[in-house]
Structure 1
């Protein structure tokens, strides 16, 4: 799909977006042999109930134990099939590292922290932006990490590049999602020969936006087939639909309210994820997701902060000080 075409659809009025979502969902349902809904937080819960409201009643799956307790309760009430992660959350962090900053940045940092001959060219591109022969000798590419992250995590390359890059005293990884969510859901889908409906929206930005703009709501690829009926939605569209469908809102989100200017918002969390996930937390205002975890489940908060190590002085000082955060981390 052309970018301008997708942007035009994003500017449609709300009723037209809902109609578009229904059409794309029905098209996908009629095209693939089997399908299911991958459910997590409010967005995908809304998607599941939306699909049911238009007559598409398919299985819903989730690795529910990764979600907040209040989300798990909603999953129980709407009949979500519960899957188990491949590894425990603590084991993934122990083996591979902490999920911080973003998936994309974490994957690059992990390569710098685990240098091999095979990833030599990629590591060079991450540090210099020079993609070498394999990348057509392009220079100054987006492969290069921003300087603030290189200053903190470029340690293994110190001598080669004669820089003041430091080595943060903890490992970073983007592998949590793979072992905890992606592989269990993909294995279930492969076993049942089923393709997923996903509650993704391009307005969330990042890699999701790029993929949705490129492939559109429905994608039928060689290795990936999926539907994202809400791709052209923004947050206001999603919350409005949730109100209309009377979607049960998990406590972690609070309530959906309308401000004096007509803007909809949730009174607590705006987005959720795994309780131990640090992706993007350095940009959140207080109270952030770890604060809410401390309020809602003090025992779990203490486990992640002190038993697993999120709150250790070594990682806290790095995230507070050397990342130059707008807000305190812990």
Structure 2
């Protein structure tokens, strides 16, 4: 499926998308020796129950301890196999750094904060957009960090480039997902020789969108084999399916409601993840995810904000947290 075909399928009516998803799900089921569902929040809970509704009843796994308590309760009710993270959340933050802005941006900042001879060319591209010999001498590429983040995190390179960028008083990293979720799930899959169904949608944007558009719903690679039946779904499609299936909605999301213009939304969180994840926090209106954590679990909020240092991180990137939003 090329990009044009993928975009066309994204514009299909809801019922047609469901039929397409069912075809892809069964195609994957028949193509691999064994498969399972990797479950997190509402999207993948909906995926699990939808797969069961069409007759694909396979094991479901999750590092449930990372999720909100209301999600953990539903995982338990659905019989999802709980896995353990490789490292604790606090250990990952201490060893590698805080997950802020986005996975892509955090990865670039981590390179700037950990300079070596081997990453010198990449660091130059992150600062200037110029890729050098290894990148075909391309200039002004998207490798360059947006100026806003260079101003805050480009400090380690000041001597070389004569800039006046700040140096953050904390480390940044995109490695948390690997140690907390990806590796435990990948290890389980390898031991059981199983390939996953994932609740990914291209409409979420970012790196996920690029990967799904490039590789399609089902991907059979040398090192990665996976199915994302909902790849062409919009958020509205996913929420409509959750309503159709009467999916149990975790408390952290609130309820699924329909606005006067017909748009579906959840009344609390629109997306969830680890309680200490900061990817995208700068884009959220208040009350944001950490505000909701404060409401639901004040002790955990206090731990992350004050003991671990998330408060300092949020202050640095200009995100309010200490006051209580009205």
* Alignment TM-score, normalising by the size of structure 1: 0.96
Q: Deviations along 1:93-151, whole A, 9 cap, x unmatched?
A: 00111110000000000000000111111101111111111111111111111111111
How much does 1:329 deviate? 4.5
Number of residues paired by the alignment? Answer: 322
Q: Is the 8 A contact 1:282 1:329 kept in 2?
A: no
CA distance 1:283–1:78, change in 2 (3 Å): same
Query: What are the within-5 Å matches in structure 2 for residues 1-330 of structure 1?
Result: 1-312=1-312, 315-320=313-318, 328-330=320-322
Distance between the aligned counterparts of 2:259 and 2:128, measured in 1?
46
Distance between the aligned counterparts of 1:62 and 1:245, measured in 2?
21
How much does 1:166 deviate? 1.2
Q: Is the 8 A contact 1:22 1:229 kept in 2?
A: yes
Q: Is the 8 A contact 2:291 2:321 kept in 1?
A: no
How much does 1:306 deviate? 1.0
Distance between the aligned counterparts of 2:314 and 2:228, measured in 1?
37
- Secondary structure in 2 aligned to 1:5? helix
Distance between the aligned counterparts of 2:18 and 2:154, measured in 1?
46
Gapped regions of structure 1 (runs ≥ 5): none
* Alignment TM-score, normalising by the size of structure 2: 0.97
- Secondary structure in 1 aligned to 2:311? coil
Q: Is the 8 A contact 2:311 2:321 kept in 1?
A: no
Of 201-210 and 254-263, the range deviating more from structure 2: 254-263
Distance between the aligned counterparts of 1:59 and 1:230, measured in 2?
18
Distance between the aligned counterparts of 1:104 and 1:55, measured in 2?
37
Q: Is the 8 A contact 1:68 1:275 kept in 2?
A: yes
Distance between the aligned counterparts of 2:98 and 2:198, measured in 1?
26
How much does 1:316 deviate? 3.8
Distance between the aligned counterparts of 1:147 and 1:202, measured in 2?
27
Distance between the aligned counterparts of 1:292 and 1:316, measured in 2?
15
Gapped regions of structure 2 (runs ≥ 5): none
Structure 1 residue runs of 4 or more that deviate by more than 4 Å after TM superposition: none
